[in-house]
Amino acid sequence: MPDWEGVRLHVVSGKGGTGKTTVAAALAMALAAEGKRTLLVEVEERQGIAELFGISALPYEERKVASVGPGALGRGGSAKAGREGEVFALAIDIEQALLEYLEMFYKLGRAGKALRKVGFIDFATTIAPGLRDVLLTGKACEAVRRKGPDGRRVYDAVVMDAPPTGRVSRFLNINTEVAGLARFGPVFTQSQAVMRVIQSPETAVHLVTLLEEMPVQETVDGVAELRAGGLPVGGVFVNMVRPPILDEAAILAAEGDHREELALALADAGVGARRGGGARKTVPAATRKLVEPLLAQGREHAARVLLERDQRADVQALKLPTYELPLLSGGVDLGGLYRLAAALKNEGAA
């Protein structure tokens, strides 16, 4: 069974530069396997999702961005044979979200659009940041609860590409912000409805990190902050993991003096040719010139592996489900997203 069976809202956060948008997109694709339908929601108005999928800027409407065919991700593709999974995406525009909100709760219609012209929307969301967060989280939570004419949920799962780790707890815990804005009325009611979804077992807040000191420390701090705020902590997604090139013995020996040994090994491998015969064989000078740069790279690689080992131990100390995604040397395109989604599926994240 997937680790997050029963979770319908996946909030993905992480330190800037860790690839949280990429991980959110890959998770949405993994969750769409076996004929399911997912919605990928962007709340920061960066159009990062559109860039990732290689499409034009997303409008303020849900649009299909990818399909996941049966068995496309490897494991479990026969559960609903013949059914294609679908990934939809939505980039929330704060102005249009507020206009939608004003129409829904206050029936302002054209008057609401007139407020946009005089700059009311920028004014309102600036002086009341809690309102902005209610609008952004509220749209995602509405998609979680939405049902079709047949009474079934429109989406099997919703994945939110949320703000960075340093802001995500405040972003999600909107009751704190709204408390000073409204104690009754539609805004208060909406915030309460949103918090019921966010704090429910149907929600998990996942954090993305790299095996580097600052991202890992921010992840550790983020988990503590989420727990202190009563928010549901999900898993840790370790992104851009590079496989070790050297074996354990080579890593441990990296600091030793292995110049002659490496020079002879290079010559044996055909990098230059040994001169002389019998017991006395020499290594060409051109081959020896390669020794120091290669040793330096080897030491650097060994140091990185040992550092990553320490950071991985810090992540594991959180005792949360952890998933590792490989570094894609060619960058992330749609094919790369399928690879990452398959990795998440195989590791049990979806």
Q: 27: domain CATH number?
A: 3.40.50.300
Residues 81 and 153 in one domain: yes
Average pLDDT of the segment spanning 248-267: 68
**Residue 90, pLDDT above cutoff 90:** yes
Tell me the average pLDDT of the chain: 84
* Residue 6 clears pLDDT 70, i.e. is over it: yes
Residue with tokens 């709340």: 43
Q: What is the pLDDT of residue 53?
A: 94
Residue 274 lies inside a defined structural domain of this protein: yes
Measured distance CA(94)–CA(187) in Å, rounded: 15
- Grade residue 181 by pLDDT with cuts at 50, 70 and 90: low
Summarize the confidence of residues 220-235 as an average pLDDT. 96
Residue 260 and residue 214 share a domain: no
Under the banding of pLDDT at 50, 70 and 90, the label for residue 279 is very low
**Each residue's pLDDT tens digit, 310-340:** 999 999 999 999 999 999 988 899 999 999 9
User: Are 259 and 228 within one domain?
Assistant: no
Residue 170 lies in a domain: yes
What was the pLDDT predicted at 344?
A: 97
The answer, yes or no, to whether residue 298 has pLDDT greater than 90, is no
Sign for the pseudo-dihedral over CA of 192, 194, 198, 202: positive
Bigger pLDDT: 349 vs 288: 349
pLDDT at 128: 60
pTM: 0.82
Residues 115 and 164 in one domain: yes
pLDDT tier, 98 (very low <50, low <70, confident <90, very high otherwise):
confident
Return left, alpha or beta for 240; rule: phi > 0 is left, psi -120 to 50 is alpha, else beta.
left
pLDDT at 239 over 60: yes
Same domain, 65 and 208: yes
Question: Does a structural domain hold residue 316?
Answer: no
205 and 278 belong to one structural domain? no
**Residues forming a β-bridge with 64:** 88
Least confident of 78-82, 131-135, 191-195, 300-304: 78-82
pLDDT at 266: 67
Most confidently modeled of 68-77, 122-131, 228-237, 267-276? Answer: 228-237
pLDDT, residue 131, reads 75
Domain count, the chain: 2
Same domain, 19 and 57: yes
Residue 19, SS3?
coil
| Element of type H or E holding 160 | strand 157-161
Same-domain check for residues 174 and 272: no
Residues 6+ away with beta carbon under 8 Å from 317: none
> What's the pLDDT at 286?
74
Pairwise pLDDT comparison (260 vs 98), residue with the higher score: 98
Average pLDDT on 120-139 reads 70
Residues 58 and 206 in one domain: yes
pLDDT band at 208 (very low <50, low <70, confident <90, very high): very high
Closest by CA position to 254, among listed 242, 265, 246, 263: 246
Q: Would strands 63-68 and 85-91 be described as parallel, antiparallel, or unpaired?
A: antiparallel
pLDDT bracket for residue 214 (50, 70, 90): very high
Q: Is residue 311 part of a domain?
A: no
Domain that residue 272 falls in: 248-303
Has residue 83 got a pLDDT over 80?
Answer: yes
List residues bridging with 14 in a β-sheet: 208
Query: What confidence tier does 179 reach under pLDDT thresholds 50, 70, 90?
Result: low
Residue 243 has pLDDT above 80, yes or no: yes
